[in-house]
Amino acid sequence: MANLPPLFDTHAHLDEPSLAAETEQLLTACQENGLVGVLTIGTTVESSRGSIVLAENHERICAAVGIHPNYVSQAGPSDWDAIVEFAQYDSVKAIGETGLDRYWDHSPIDLQVDYFKRHLQLTRETGKPFIVHCRDAEPDVLEVLAAEYQKHGPLNGVMHSFCGSAETAQKCLDWGMMLSFSGMLTFKRNVELRELAATVPQDRVLVETDAPYLAPMPYRGKRNQPAYVKHTAEVLADCYGMSYKELCQITTANAMRFLKIN
Ligand SMILES: [Zn+2]
């Protein structure tokens, strides 16, 4: 077990009820599959607080704090202040998830943009990278990111569960961002996504699960968990034509550099 190549799941929601009930079992599975870290992602103030508690109680877990675009219209006046405070904690390594979502359309787009910009500013203030959720909103997300880049220079962030166009990928890379691939990379029909993944510079690529959602093949449709990140890593290794071990080493080194974990 000690010789397993290292893996890092850069996006999971361990505070979700379906996962929070069995943190210990999930971490055992992580250990059995070589995971050295899991970034658990906040979506509300409550879930950000829950993520911090998980990170402070488990060595392998670190936290991201933020308000997901689908929840910004539920955020109360003091909620953003709490996120700003949480962002200072040592156990917090990233800001988010933020971004824009026109698929669910739970919150007015202007409000989503307002919160997206707040997260970007918090990254500038803390030096901790932001995590972008983008669903049916590529042009809007690019507009916000382009403005940020023009005003403040290179972007310290990641496009999570990337499934956008090659043009979008190139812009994000040009702006200095990372691209993270989830279980969607393993779905049979996503041939173009695998072709795109093969072109991403090796120092800009991350892997994630987005657990409990988006389980990779062969678990598609089931509850996802961080240990399953290995299936996405196997497919990504094939995309690059490299060994699984090398892919694990590269993506884990990227994750640790990106999150400033030693
Ligand atoms: Zn997420």
Whether the pLDDT of residue 56 is over 60: the answer is yes
Stated length of the chain: 262
Which tokens belong to 92? 């917090």
Q: Is there a domain that residue 212 lies in?
A: yes
Residue 203: CB atoms within 10 A of its CB come to 11
Instruction: Tell me how crowded residue 241 is: count the other CB atoms within 10 A of its CB.
Output: 7
- The boundaries of the domain holding residue 147 are 7-258
pLDDT in tens, 89-127: 999 999 999 999 999 978 999 999 999 999 999 999 999
Spatial CB neighbours of 77, under 8 Å, sequence gap ≥ 6: none
Task: Judge whether 65 lies within some domain.
Answer: yes
104 C-alpha to ligand 1 centroid (Å)? 14
Residue 55 three-state SS: helix
Q: Is 106 annotated as a binding residue?
A: no
Residue 104 lies in a domain: yes
Calculate how far, in angstroms, residue 202's C-alpha sits from the geometric centre of ligand 1. 23
Distances (CA, A) of 66 to 34, 43, 130, 132: 28, 6, 9, 11
Ligand-binding annotation for 13, yes or no, is yes
DSSP 8-state class, residue 150: H
How many structural domains comprise the chain?
1
Identify the pLDDT of residue 201: 98
| In-domain check, residue 36 | yes
d(CA 96, ligand 1 centre) in Å: 9
Q: What is the DSSP letter of 12?
A: E
**2 part of a folded domain:** no
Annotated ligand binding at 246? The verdict is no
Which pLDDT belongs to residue 106?
A: 86
DSSP structure string for 71-135: GGGG--TTHHHHHHHHTTSTTEEEEEEEEEETTT--S-HHHHHHHHHHHHHHHHHH-PPEEEEEE
Instruction: Please check the confidence at residue 244 and state whether its pLDDT lies above 70.
Output: yes
Instruction: Determine the distance separating the centroid of ligand 1 and the alpha carbon of 124, expressed in angstroms.
Output: 21
Distance CA 38, CA 30 (A): 9
CATH number, domain of 195, equals 3.20.20.140
Answer yes or no: is 126 within a domain. yes
For tokens 């220079």, the residue is: 153
The pLDDT assigned to 1 comes to: 54
d(CA 128, CA 50) in angstroms, rounded, equals 19
| Mean pLDDT of the region 20-34 | 96
What is the rounded average pLDDT for all residues in the chain?
97
Check residue 3 and give its pLDDT: 84
Q: How far is the CA of 262 from the centre of ligand 1 (A)?
A: 24
Name the CA radius of gyration of the chain, rounded: 17
Q: Residue 202: pLDDT above 70?
A: yes
Q: How far is the CA of 98 from the centre of ligand 1 (A)?
A: 9
Q: List the one residue out of 46, 55, 51, 164 whose CA is nearest residue 99.
A: 164
Ligand 1: centre distance to CA 17 (Å): 14
Which strands form 61-65's sheet, in the order they lie side by side? 7-12, 35-41, 61-65, 92-101, 130-135, 157-159, 178-181, 205-207
CA of 3 to the centre of ligand 1 (A): 30
How far does residue 40's CA lie from ligand 1's centre (Å)? Answer: 9
What's the pLDDT tens digit per position in 140-191? 999 999 999 999 999 999 999 999 999 999 999 999 999 999 999 999 999 9
* pLDDT on residue 2: 60
Query: Over 90: is that where the pLDDT of 139 sits?
Result: yes
Above pLDDT 90, what percent of the chain?
A: 96
Residue 160 assigned ligand-binding role: yes
Give the pLDDT confidence of 61-80 residue by residue, as tens digits: 999 999 999 999 999 889 99
